[in-house]
Structure 1
Amino acid sequence: MNATHDTVLIVGAGPVGLTAAVQLARLGVAVRVVEVLEQPTTESRAVGVHARSMELLASLGALDRLESLGRRVPALDVVDGRTGRARVRMDLGNAPSRHPYVLDVAQPDTEAVLAERAAELGVVVDRGVALAGLTQDDDGVDVVLRSAGGESAARYGWVLGADGGHSTTRRLVGTTLEGGFHGQHFAMADADVDTSYAPDSIRMFTHPDGMGMLFPLAGDRARIMFLVDPPPEGTTAPTLAEMQALADVRMGGAVRMHTPRWLTYFEVHHAQVPRYRFGRVFLAGDAAHIHSPAGAQGMNTGIQDAANLAWKLALVAQGRADAALLDSYDAERHPVGAMVVRTTTTLTEVGTASGPEAVLRNVAMFLVGHVHKVRDVAASTMAELTINYRDSALSVHHGRAAVKAGDHAPDPAGTAVAIEDLLATPGFLLVVQGSGQEAALREVLGDLGTVVAADDALAQAYGWPIDGMALIRPDGYLGLVADSAHPDVLRDYLATSLHFGGERIEVTARP
């Protein structure tokens, strides 16, 4: 048996698995990625990358390349599909991020950019390799991998199942998706379009027959999808004429499709696994939660799953932190997945409302469109910028700082450098205000990360009265926030909250 005790095996080379691979490799962990597909998919699949994911991709060194392949979309419109009248326009420009827009880009491009970044870090995707068996003990995971050359056995330290809605990893750990919703069927096209709608917005069309979505991609290309009745048994894809007929009814005749790249039907259930950690095996992305594509939350939620797990797994795999740290992955991300399932279900129901329900929907849409505070909260929520881990055991708050431990780290305009740029150096980021304790804090933090002095803009954003510090996790969230910069406060946090009990070993992280 091939023994690779210190290596993390990632099953699945989609955006979720590749995000985890890049972050783990940057943090100095050996990674192997296997993917059952012989060649990368050409199907556009997930197309909307939200602000929170862009911040992470920037810190990983992948965003600039991805932006060159996509389209920045600064707004979301909800449109009455019968009249073509916009019910509400949700401008994303006030979102508290350096990326106040959605990046619409086909999933194969996202995968290609992440695979290129992973290769730069020494991670190569082994294609045509399927996970066929899995058992584990206290010290590792034994797997059986199947390829064209037959089956082989190997042992890994940890396994991440990022292998999609039909996850083999999920089945092998003995869990299932659980949900209380009926499956929903969608017809989808990736095609070029002629339309009177400007490519400056993602548009959700409400209609009694079912919602529709229009995502503008680069050039004349767009993603179009409709909620539909179950297709005839054995039918896997609509024709272009059938998609056009749906558009004529639900998009007011304003969208004409041609040159299709991909036509498909797909079914979505709203469901989630009971937990995300099974000993040394973890589930992320669609392997852990599936739901409606409304709001373009699926891929982004999966990317954030990977971001949350990777830095914790790196610390444990390297013997720097106790394995108890990994329990926080499920504790922090499972509630987020549950919230996304609820939200996307509601969005889909909103798109199909009729009668009294439609009246209530229209009132709600009016409030979103005309009350700035409501609109801004809705925009930040869609961008996943309101997600927090305030209730996590990893979130420790001391004193009167304005920001709260567990929140997404503020990155205000006017700072000398973006937080995402600072996080491009692998590890934690400790932002310090006053006190003159930087040298002592660097000694405590060691090679776990970087210590920087807060400039005036950051100090104001964090609201420290005089002295203070904030430990920003590699996934961009605040772990420790204190109105003291005493080294003992940091030392206690590392030992107590992050479960540092392992040997402090030197690790060569890669930029």
Structure 2
Amino acid sequence: MEDKVLIVGAGPTGLAMAVGLERQGIPFKIIDKAEGPGEESRAMVVHARTLELYDQYGLAENMIERGIIADNVAIFNDGRRRGGIDFGEIGVGLSRFPFVLSLPQDEHERIVIEYLNGKNIGVAWNTELTGYEESGDKVTAAIKNNEGAESLDFDYICGCDGPGSIVRKQMGYDFPGGTYEEVFFVADVMGESDVEGVQVHMSREGFALVLPVRMSGSLRIIGLVPEQVVEKKEEARYKDVEDYVKNQVGVTAETVNWFSTYKVHHRVSEHFRKGKVFLAGDAGHIHSPAGGQGMNTGIGDAMNLSWKLGKVIDGKMDEKILESYEEERIPFARLLVSTTDQVFKSIISDGPFSEIIRNVFMSNVAPNLVRIKAMRRMMFRLVSQIHIDYDNSMLSRGKAGKIKGGDRLPWVKYGKKDNYDPLNSLDFHYHLYGQTSSEMRRHIKNSGLEFCEYNWTAEADKAGVKKNTVMLIRPDGHIAVIDDSNNVERFFEYEKTYMK
């Protein structure tokens, strides 16, 4: 069978796109100009919403086993421990995964590649896209590898090829934003230390995160290269940051497995789509590392787009639904860039306000705030990305109480099970919480979609679900249509508009 989609880039975003398409039986080709999987783990955090999406493919459990739950974060300032933030299961009652997972990006990628290899799907390494032309219902891609060049036809191209995206450049879109002056380093070291959980180190000399890596027993250190080293305009080596790591971070490295430096950008592409070509992940938006949002947002892009492409290619939904991809994802990317930019600057800047942030807020105020239940829930919703909604999307309809079409399905536990079990089907399906009319039941039966009935319980009420609410759930776990007044026409009109 001919490949229908070309995925350019095999980082976390491209791999997530591959997972989404494979499960739907959509043939695709995934390429990357690198020689093999990356070793630079700039992204270390996997948030709850990402784990929920991965769980639909059976990947979440493996990631949790190979990662470390960041249940406590120690705060250091000027080399001294100033306090700690007890995350624990900060999102209890809100998600199957009420925690923050620390998992190095390289290990993350290996897990997904192993999954794809188990499906007899491999990445075409040492292979790059040199250009493409769109004509009619096809996109012809010019591809080059060690064996030569060739032209291949696809229905769609997904550019997941990072900040320097050749796909975005050929689309002709600007990448407005900027680059931080600071240079970051990432190091994987073996050595004596008493690091057990996540550590945040702040001082006038720099900023660093220290995280233990479960699989290798090493420590991953991500921090700022000292200003005096940057001013030399030479490529930094570990010896240039060694004194800072030893004196301020408290880690003496006996072995340095690898070391790399990089700059951080904050940019969002003008658009995420042009015809049959799409952008996802760092190709469309890049952020500061504040909150560990960048990689998770790229994976969210991929999961959003992959089910839509799958439904269109399979002929089950109208191609117009592809318009919703940019509509749903670009507003969040823009908001994320602006907010993480402010947080990042407030932490690393050398000024009185940043001193207050480091010495007072991070060391004293934040740990106390997290002890307040309402604050813990609010913080978890924000950081974990379970708050992302598509209320203004063309694919969202209705409202019942506080829940609207486009919202993520509220997680409700039922004994040892929950209402997220049906999401494993990766298809549209109906939910009923309580009772509904015979007319609504007939419509649901005639739709041919899976029908899941749940009792309306105190847990459902607590999650914000009104009694006798009917929901049409999207493959990605967001609500397409919601109603608690037996408005059959609303569901009928939606299916008639978008489904075939």
What TM-score, normalized by structure 2, do the two folds share? 0.89
Task: Please name the residue that 1:480 is paired with.
Answer: 481
1:145-191 deviations in Å (ceiling 9; x for gaps): 10111110011000001111222212221223210454431022112
Task: Please name the residue that 2:149 is paired with.
Answer: 151
Provide the C-alpha distance between the structure 1 equivalents of 2:254 and 2:323, rounded to a whole number of angstroms: 49
Q: Secondary structure at the match of 2:340?
A: helix
Q: Secondary structure at the match of 1:337?
A: helix
CA shift in 2, pair 1:338/1:216, >3 Å: farther
**One-letter amino acid matched to 2:407:** D
1:114 aligned to 2:116?
no
Q: Secondary structure at the match of 1:36?
A: coil
1:334 aligned to 2:330?
yes
Provide the C-alpha distance between the structure 2 equivalents of 1:404 and 1:91, rounded to a whole number of angstroms: 29
Structure 2: gaps spanning 5 or more residues: none
Equivalent positions of 1:60-459 (< 5 A) are: 60-86=57-83, 89=85, 91=87, 93-95=89-91, 96-199=94-197, 202-218=198-214, 220-228=217-225, 229=227, 231=230, 235-239=234-238, 241-251=239-249, 254-358=250-354, 360-361=356-357, 364-365=361-362, 366-371=364-369, 372=372, 373-398=374-399, 400-414=400-414, 417-433=417-433, 434-435=435-436, 440-446=442-448, 449-457=449-457, 459=460
**One-letter amino acid matched to 2:386:** L
1:237-269 deviations in Å (ceiling 9; x for gaps): 422x33331224433xx3333322220111111
CA shift in 2, pair 1:258/1:166, >3 Å: farther
Provide the C-alpha distance between the structure 2 equivalents of 1:192 and 1:485, rounded to a whole number of angstroms: 62
Provide the C-alpha distance between the structure 2 equivalents of 1:113 and 1:487, rounded to a whole number of angstroms: 43
Q: Secondary structure at the match of 1:407?
A: coil
Q: Secondary structure at the match of 2:121?
A: coil
**One-letter amino acid matched to 1:407:** D
After TM superposition, give the deviation of residue 69 of structure 1 in Å.
1.8
Q: Is the 8 A contact 2:192 2:252 kept in 1?
A: yes
Task: Please name the residue that 1:507 is paired with.
Answer: none
Provide the C-alpha distance between the structure 1 equivalents of 2:375 and 2:247, rounded to a whole number of angstroms: 31
**One-letter amino acid matched to 2:450:** T
Provide the C-alpha distance between the structure 2 equivalents of 1:486 and 1:169, rounded to a whole number of angstroms: 44
Q: Secondary structure at the match of 2:164?
A: coil
**One-letter amino acid matched to 1:481:** I
Q: Is the 8 A contact 1:402 1:462 kept in 2?
A: no
Provide the C-alpha distance between the structure 1 equivalents of 2:315 and 2:367, rounded to a whole number of angstroms: 51
Provide the C-alpha distance between the structure 2 equivalents of 1:27 and 1:487, rounded to a whole number of angstroms: 29
Q: Secondary structure at the match of 2:299?
A: helix
**One-letter amino acid matched to 1:467:** N
User: Which shows bigger deviation, 147-156 or 373-382?
Assistant: 373-382
What TM-score, normalized by structure 1, do the two folds share? 0.87
**One-letter amino acid matched to 1:395:** S
1:205-250 deviations in Å (ceiling 9; x for gaps): 22223321122321632221212337367744422x3333122443
CA shift in 2, pair 1:344/1:455, >3 Å: same
User: Which shows bigger deviation, 256-265 or 329-338?
Assistant: 256-265
After TM superposition, give the deviation of residue 57 of structure 1 in Å.
0.8
Provide the C-alpha distance between the structure 2 equivalents of 1:487 and 1:395, rounded to a whole number of angstroms: 15
After TM superposition, give the deviation of residue 62 of structure 1 in Å.
1.1
Task: Please name the residue that 2:14 is paired with.
Answer: 17
Structure 1: gaps spanning 5 or more residues: 505-511
**One-letter amino acid matched to 2:244:** L
Provide the C-alpha distance between the structure 2 equivalents of 1:396 and 1:422, rounded to a whole number of angstroms: 21
Larger RCO (alpha carbons 8 Å, 6+ apart): 1
Provide the C-alpha distance between the structure 1 equivalents of 2:158 and 2:254, rounded to a whole number of angstroms: 40
After TM superposition, give the deviation of residue 272 of structure 1 in Å.
1.3
* Aligned sequence identity (%): 29
Task: Please name the residue that 1:509 is paired with.
Answer: none
CA shift in 2, pair 1:368/1:85, >3 Å: closer
Q: Is the 8 A contact 2:473 2:480 kept in 1?
A: yes
1:325-365 deviations in Å (ceiling 9; x for gaps): 11211111111112222233223223224543036525544
